[in-house]
Amino acid sequence: MSRLKNKFALITGGTSGIGLETARQFVLEGATVAVTGRSASALQAVRHELGGAVLAIQSDAGDSVGQQALARQLAGVWPRLDVLFVNAGDVTHHSIEDWDEAAWDQLMQINLKGPFFLIQALLPLLANPSSVILCGSVSARIGLAQSSAYAASKAGLLSLARTLSGEFVGRGIRVNGLSPGPTETAALDKLGLPAAEQQALRERIRQLVPIGRMGTPWELAKAAVYLASDESAYVVGTELLVDGGVGNL
């Protein structure tokens, strides 16, 4: 398995769920991998699970200044960056009445502002050719209750996949969106909802999926491998939905 042989790949939010499984699959496909996360203990667990060759970096995805430090750290150890998977995200869901400005700002900093300035900071390191994958969400396409702020942030991120592709096309940098549907990850336990509301939301989410089940991190990770590899060299500025049909059926 060598679809990513000789590629240097950074995954933000790579300590659990889709990010961790993508890191595992990237390693299996021959990539040199770095992951970021906020928790030192979670990063240490990644090192233990995936091996010491994985570069585990403590970084806050919502800290725009910190993105510059992250870029400098990578530039100090890697000759280039071939793949960037922007996966870190805040999945908080609330009714509109329950949002305040501080919580809104935090979500937007993690889901949209941080990624924008991370790409800016990494631009000198990105190779020609290279692949940038922005983790969107099918929520940007549907009207799921309590997802207003989250869905808006993901819609903005998916827009960046198109606009930055247009801006970077002459540099050989492809930018694409990868939008999961409902996926069985620990993120579902971090929605910020009371237990009863969370369970009710889970059931509504399951009912949204035409194929009758939620996705797995492995299924999303395999899609990320495709977008990261040279197999997708003709895929530019688009969105790959891996959502069990939620967004189209």
Determine the distance from the C-alpha atom of residue 139 to the mean position of all C-alpha atoms in its chain, rounded to a whole number. Answer: 14
Contact at 8 Å (CB) between 71 and 12? no
- Other Cβ atoms closer than 10 A to 139: 26
d(CA 210, CA 245) in angstroms, rounded, equals: 6
Structure tokens at 228: 């990261």
Beginning with the edge strand found earlier in the chain, give each strand of the sheet holding 126-135 in spatial order. Answer: 55-58, 32-37, 8-11, 81-86, 126-135, 173-180, 239-242
Q: Which are the contacts of 101, defined by CB distance < 8 A and separation ≥ 6? A: none
Closest CA to 224 of 18, 17, 32: 18
User: Catalytic residue at 150?
Assistant: yes
Please, is 65 exposed, middle or buried when counting C-beta atoms within 10 Å of its C-beta (0-12, 13-18, 19+)?
Answer: exposed
- Quick count: other Cβ atoms within 10 Å of Cβ 230? 11
- For residue 199, the one-letter residue type is Q
Q: Which of 8, 26, 117, 150 is catalytic?
A: 150
Q: Which residues are catalytic?
A: 150
